Amino acid sequence: MEWKLTVPTPDQARAALAEAQRVQEQARRSGRWFPWFLTAVGAVSIVWITAMEAVWPQGRYPLAGAWAALFLLAGEWMKRRPALPLGAGRRLTAATATWFGLYLVAVGPVTRWQWDTSVPAWTLASAVAALPFFAAAWTGRRA
């Protein structure tokens, strides 16, 4: 089998470049949802931790189950999106692990020990714990 190398004409090269730019812009538009998704996860985590620790501490287990179910549903929704930005899974995993670590090791025990069920204290503490989601959204806003 003999291969023949063909050189595109300048018009063909311009058309191919224009098509590549169009596809690139379409892919960027299709992935713009992800920073908003991370912001929503951070905001919901603030509400969830505050509700679980200060508003309804006796309902910790049902709220934990609801959070897990919501997180799984959000993951399924995320997988069905037309485009996932490069590094999105890594950013979400890192933000979730950091959030969980902050809540489990630092924010949760200190806030529970110092302020028990104070809603303002838990709101502030959960906002600190949610910072990894907001940071991941900020770093990925141009992806």
* Whole-structure pTM value: 0.83
What is the C-alpha to C-alpha distance for residues 126 and 47, in angstroms, rounded to an integer? 8
pLDDT tens-digit readout, 94-107: 999 999 999 999 89
| Residue 109 and residue 116 in contact, taking contact as beta carbons nearer than 8 Å | no
Single-letter residue type at 68? A
- Rounded to 10°, the helix 119-129/108-115 angle is 170
pLDDT grade for 7, boundaries at 50, 70 and 90:
confident
pLDDT tens-digit readout, 126-140: 999 999 999 999 997
Query: How far is CA 103 from each of CA 69, 90, 141, 143, rounded to the nearest angstrom?
Result: 19, 20, 25, 28
Would the pLDDT of 124 be above 80?
A: yes
Number of residues written out for the chain = 143
pLDDT tens-digit readout, 53-110: 999 999 989 988 998 999 899 989 988 998 888 889 999 999 999 999 999 998 989 9
What is the C-alpha to C-alpha distance for residues 116 and 45, in angstroms, rounded to an integer? 19
- pLDDT score, position 24: 84
